[in-house]
Amino acid sequence: MLDSDLMAAAAAATGFMPEDEGRALAEAAFAAPDGPILEVGSYLGKSTLYLAAAARARGTKVVTVDHHRGSEEHQPGWDYHDPELVDPAVGLIDTLPGLRATIAAAGAEDVVVAVVARAEDFAALWGTPLAFLFLDGSHTDESAQRDLASWAPHLAVGGVLAIHDVFPDPADGGQAPYRIYRKALDSDAYTELTGQGSLRLLRRRS
């Protein structure tokens, strides 16, 4: 059973994950095979808490990796730029303090392992088969394709790949997550599970 306190904290946290998609994410992570849960793209920790609710219930950890300098859409001049997230000492976005505050306030420091690194750099060091992989990093084609290429090989057969912000219609949102979803599905290495909204869920079969 999902940890109800962490589910409530996730719903109240700042971020871009709708509650119905967050619950579907947590339920999918809870139902995944035994093994680690890993998230690419932490931002301020909202989706991390949904995954933590599953991790605590399973007696495991969720690893969340992010360089914490913000995606393209978080930079100055873009729609999702928040000037309060700029570190005045260096003049760059820094979402790590916000993530740490979110995780600490929810009492989830015992189940969340936060890694500050570029996802592809950390993937090169990772060696444990994943039970659940959630891709929600930068939404440019280059970075989304890089996240899929560097992390999908670490997903165990039977493990679940989750991709957020998948919009088949360009009028609804950017297409980079949709393209990696199609690439994974068209590879015949995955079968599709029931998703929710813009959240797509795929089980690795080979």
- CATH (domain of 158): 3.40.50.150
Write down the pLDDT at residue 79: 66
Per-residue confidence (pLDDT) for residue 55, from 0 to 100: 98
- In angstroms, how far is the first alpha carbon of the chain from the final one? 29
pTM of this structure:
0.93
- Which of 67, 74, 139, 164 is the catalytic position? 139
In this prediction, residue 96 carries a pLDDT of 94
Under 8 Å between Cβ of 196 and 166: no
Of 9, 82, 2, the C-alpha closest to 48 is 9
Q: What confidence tens digit (pLDDT) does each residue in 8-62 have?
A: 999 999 998 999 999 999 999 999 999 999 999 999 999 999 999 999 999 999 9
- Into how many domains does the chain fold? 1
pLDDT digits (tens, 9 = 90+) for 93-134: 799 999 999 999 999 999 999 999 999 999 999 999 999 999
Select from 162, 155, 139 the least CA-distant residue to 189: 155
Separation of CA 61 from chain center: 14
**Domain span holding position 194:** 4-204
Work out the pLDDT band at 198, boundaries 50, 70, 90. very high
- Retrieve residue 64's tokens: 């969340």
Q: Return d(Cα 97, Cα 47) in angstroms, integer.
A: 16
d(CA 23, CA 20): 5
Instruction: Give yes or no: 139 in active site.
Output: yes
Residue 80 has pLDDT above 80, yes or no: no
Token couple for 163: 């991709």
Rounded mean pLDDT, 185-195: 97
Instruction: Classify 91 in phi/psi space as left (phi over 0), alpha (psi -120 to 50) or beta.
Output: left
pLDDT reported for residue 174: 84
- Burial (CB < 10 A; 0-12, 13-18, 19+), residue 153, is exposed
pLDDT value at residue 195:
98
Amino acid 65: pLDDT: 98
Which residues, other chains included, contact 42 with Cβ-Cβ below 8 Å and sequence gap of 6+? 48, 64, 65, 66, 68, 95, 99, 114
Q: What percent of the chain has pLDDT over 70?
A: 92
pLDDT of 69: 84
